Amino acid sequence: MGTDAYETIARRFDDLTAARAEQQRLGARRAHLAPQLAEARGEVERLSAQHDKEAGDVHRLEGGASPTRVWAAMRGGLQDQLAKERAEAEAARFNLARAEEVLRRLEREDQQLAAEEARVVGAQEGYEVTLAEVHRLAQEPGAGMLRERAAEAGRQLEDLRWRRELEEALAAGREARAALAEARRRLGGAKAWSVYDTFGGGGMFSSMLKHDQLDKATALLDKAAAAMQRFSRELADVELPGLDAPMVDDMSRGLDIWFDNFVTDIMVSQRIAQADSQVAEAQAAVEETMTTLEGLRAKLT
């Protein structure tokens, strides 16, 4: 490969590295802006509710025969009360307008940063390929300019791949979290029917409904188990331990339906409670691991 080719690769590496640094700078600015946006939106919501209340007070006093107007007239000083409420409504309107302007300014800034970030991301096409190319060609004769960049290319390549593994693990964790929550909601339905079947005088029909809920919960637990397995595989890529998935069996199903009695009801109720406990433990483990992953990502940022 000629010197010109090495120079082209070196320039591309420098340009992409600069674009990557700019992306991280813009991302940091947006992260700093996010809590300000959340606070501004909350303030607009609060002041909007206050303005609606003050405007409502004015409307009730201005109404022809509203109870508020009648009571104010009976006490005397209707005009003074109306003037006071109008002043408070105007102050609330002014405060709301100021808060909305602050929110619009922050939203414009965030939109501009997002557009710049998207442009910089688009300019990074071939980033990983270029890093790998610099790292691979650095030892060739005549590639001195690449050797100067090889260590940085290797570091950036490792950083890029590590970030990707973290994002994949976080995505798998969110999927596992949602699957567990869905399964636990369904177990709650089975638990409610189980209580009725055991203590509320239920019979074969209530047992069938209970097991219909439990069958659906079992299917969702299978889905959660698959999601947990995917999560564990992704955790291995970021050198974190995998997590155990909750399971529920079909023990006592036929016995409970066809030979309905207090003992079998209690057995199934205990099985549901055990499954619910396992799901709760899995949820807690997922949340703890997600916190760890988010902490690792925050350190990278």
Which pLDDT score is estimated for 215?
A: 75
**198 and 72 co-located in one domain:** no
Same domain, 121 and 166: no
Amino acid sitting at position 259: F
CATH number at 271 reads: 1.20.1330.10
- Within a domain: 45: yes
SS3 of 270, please? helix
Asked if residue 28 and residue 114 are part of one domain, the reply reads yes
239 and 270 in contact (C-beta within 8 Å)?
Answer: no
Per-residue HEC secondary structure of 116-161 comes to: HHHHHHHCCCCHHHHHHHHHHHCCCCCCHHHHHHHHHHHHHHHHHH
Q: What is the CA radius of gyration of the chain?
A: 32
Taking the C-alpha atoms of residue 70 and residue 68, their distance in angstroms, rounded to an integer, is: 6
pTM of the model: 0.55
User: What confidence score (pLDDT) does residue 129 get?
Assistant: 84
Q: What is the C-alpha separation between 249 and 193, in angstroms, rounded? A: 18
Contact 282, 228 (CB under 8 A): yes
pLDDT attached to residue 258: 40
Q: How far apart are CA 157 and CA 135, in angstroms?
A: 9
Total domains in the fold of the chain: 2
Q: Which domain holds residue 36?
A: 3-125
Domain-embedded: residue 51: yes
pLDDT in tens for each of the 301 residues of the chain? 677 888 888 888 888 888 888 888 888 899 889 999 999 999 999 999 999 998 887 877 776 545 554 454 545 556 777 788 888 888 999 999 999 999 999 999 999 999 998 888 887 778 878 888 887 888 778 777 887 888 888 888 788 888 889 999 999 999 999 999 988 888 877 766 565 555 545 555 556 666 677 777 778 888 888 999 999 999 998 889 888 877 655 544 444 444 454 445 666 677 778 888 888 999 999 999 999 999 988 887 6
Give a yes or no: residue 264 inside a domain: yes
Q: Give the pLDDT score at 252.
A: 43
Query: Of 125, 153, 182, which marks where a domain is finished?
Result: 125
- The CA distance from 279 to 224, in Å, is 9
In-domain check, residue 134: no
Whether 169 and 116 map to the same domain: the answer is: no
pLDDT at position 251 is 41
196 and 262 in a single domain? The answer is: yes
User: Is 255 inside any structural domain?
Assistant: yes
pLDDT at residue 62 in the model: 75
* Residues 51, 169 share a domain: no
